[in-house]
Chains A and B, each alone.
Chain A
Amino acid sequence: QVQLQESGPGLVKPSETLSLTCAVSGYSISSGYYWGWIRQTPGKGLEWLGGIYHSGSTYYNPSLKSRVAISVDTSKNQLTLKLSSVTAADTAVYYCARVGSYYGSGTYYLRYFDYWGQGTLVTVSS
């Protein structure tokens, strides 16, 4: 059974960097699949932040511009999210998820999210 578990600080100060880890069990990241981060706020619903393939190929939400970075550590079977220069608007529940995809014409078509972590609430406040 594939399981994902997010972890990290629940409180981050404005202008600092939010850093979360997603530990994956029951499946080796190196075996394939895309892996992504999604957040949920009361006002904006679900928002795709970005994702990464085990090879390191990444896709990011352009609305986050250069603030977001996602990496994968295959030796620890985990992925990491870093979001810099946070503001109150970044307060949300953050989820990691496995992403079903299809590769064709040089593009990963991200099709669905089949396994999710339980989510972790991150509050941005001084």
Chain B
Amino acid sequence: QSALTQPASVSGSPGQSITISCTGTSSDVGGYNYVSWYQQHPGKAPKLMIYDVSNRPSGVSNRFSGSKSGNTASLTISGLQAEDEADYYCSSYTSSSTLHVVFGGGTKLTVL
């Protein structure tokens, strides 16, 4: 069982917007602005899409955006494209024990 809770799957049609949630606690998501999101295609390494809740690394499409409210962070993908179909993981710094980093269980995005 992962420390951060994500929906197992979400789906949307091309051109639509979807949101993936990531729920933690006040020891991680709610307590720090150090939430990041990763995209992973089959057989590939994860790719950083969002860091520090809402910042995009250079080269990442502005169709990807992040936000946070309380203990829940969210990743929104607008204008869905077929290439967005992938697994998405959230991660957060945590002050719980000496772990320092926790991940969500991942969400499978299907573009219909």
Which residues of A line the B interface, CB within 8 A?
Answer: 36, 44-48, 51, 59-63, 95, 100, 102, 108-114, 116-119
Contact = CB atoms under 8 A, between A and B. Distances in A.
B52 A112 contact: yes
B63 interface: no
B52 A45 contact: no
Contacts of A36: 101
**Taking chain A's interface residues, is the majority helix, strand, or loop, or is none over half, making it mixed?**
strand
26 contacts: A44-B2, A45-B105, A46-B38, A46-B46, A46-B91, A48-B101, A48-B103, A51-B100, A61-B99, A95-B45, A100-B51, A102-B34, A110-B101, A111-B34, A111-B36, A111-B52, A112-B48, A112-B52, A113-B36, A113-B46, A113-B48, A113-B91, A114-B51, A116-B46, A116-B47, A118-B44
Contacts of B51: 100, 111-112, 114
Contacts of A95: 45-46
